[in-house]
Amino acid sequence: MPDSPLSRTPYEVLGVSPRSTDDEVRRAYRRLLRETHPDTGGSAAEFHAVQLAWEQVGSSVDRAAYDSGAGASSSAPDARGGSGSERASRTYRPEGSSLRARSYGHPGGDEREHFLALMREWVGRGVDLADPYDPALVRTAPREIRRWLAKAMAEEETARIVSTLGIGYTIWNNVLVDRTGENIDQLVLGPAGLFAIQSEDWGSVVRLSRGELEGEGIAEGEEPFRSLGHNARALGRSLGVKFTALVIVVPDDDLEAPIDQIERGRLAGAVVVRRSVLPQLLRNGVGGGERASVDRVFELRSRLQQGVRFV
């Protein structure tokens, strides 16, 4: 699986500029080896990250390959076919099949528009931007630009997963919340209920703490669950529906447990879940709640179809 667009580059891990000399990179590597070594009180994970960074840019040959994009894991083919760059440039297209979930709206579309606009502005006017998804270009972009691409890809992956669940499910993507002017990434309706979902990729491990998500990649003042709860309440009131659960989906490696749930407070019952566990959650619900009848699902689908607006 390719790295997230928000994964730290080897230069970021080593704390040097891509324009640093080979000698400066080497000195940074040696210093960080000492500082991060577990035997001297460092972090094993960070020590490993430093070693991997050195493998990618430690020699002139490896560094040239990495800088050109040839050494980027995000450009390597994976089981779904094609390179990370090629997959990133594709817009989401549900495969045509009568057995697939109904899907409305464009997952990740608004985020990709933001990404492309910011990339063009960052590269500069008059510069030919042949491939804005080129891994070598993307990883040199500022984090705030890469964040939009990571977000788009996360939404697209959730939509792809839900599409495989069958005709008993319906997904609405990038849903506008009129009362707040914001949006909810996905509404998913199925036999286990109606779920409000945010598809996220902060490029770092996240954890629940006092009813909210924390992590290195989550910006100061950013409150993912409170924001989702606020938007879900506003949307629920305007559509006349009640959500079964609030769900934040993150890459598998970014959550220690398969699923974690808020136990107390106004957001009790909201969950953060690994991406691979999402189908199980949508099939079984949260905490084994009562399943909706066919008539109830049909009623909710009709109401949502009439009231949902897209970003």
User: Which amino acid, residue 263?
Assistant: E
Helix, strand or coil, per DSSP, at residue 282: helix
Residues near 276 by Cβ (< 8 Å), separated by ≥ 6?
252, 258
- Domain layout of the chain by residue ranges: 1-71, 72-307
Strand partners, 193: 190
DSSP 255: B
A 10 A CB-CB count for 130 gives 7
CATH code of the region 1-71: 1.10.287.110
**Contact between residue 269 and residue 245 where contact means Cβ atoms under 8 Å apart:** yes
Q: Distance of alpha carbon 301 from its chain centroid, rounded? A: 26
Helix, strand or coil, per DSSP, at residue 171: strand
Q: Distance of alpha carbon 257 from its chain centroid, rounded? A: 17
- As a whole number of angstroms, the distance between CA 106 and CA 52 comes to 36
pLDDT score of 263: 94
Q: What is the pTM of this model?
A: 0.80
Q: Render each residue's pLDDT in the chain as its tens digit; 311 residues.
A: 357 888 888 998 999 998 899 999 999 999 999 999 988 888 888 898 899 999 999 998 888 888 877 655 443 333 333 333 343 333 344 444 457 999 999 999 999 999 999 999 999 877 888 899 998 889 889 999 999 999 999 999 999 999 999 999 999 999 999 999 999 999 999 999 999 999 999 999 999 999 999 999 999 999 999 999 999 999 999 999 999 999 999 999 999 999 999 999 999 999 999 999 999 999 999 876 667 777 889 999 999 999 999 99
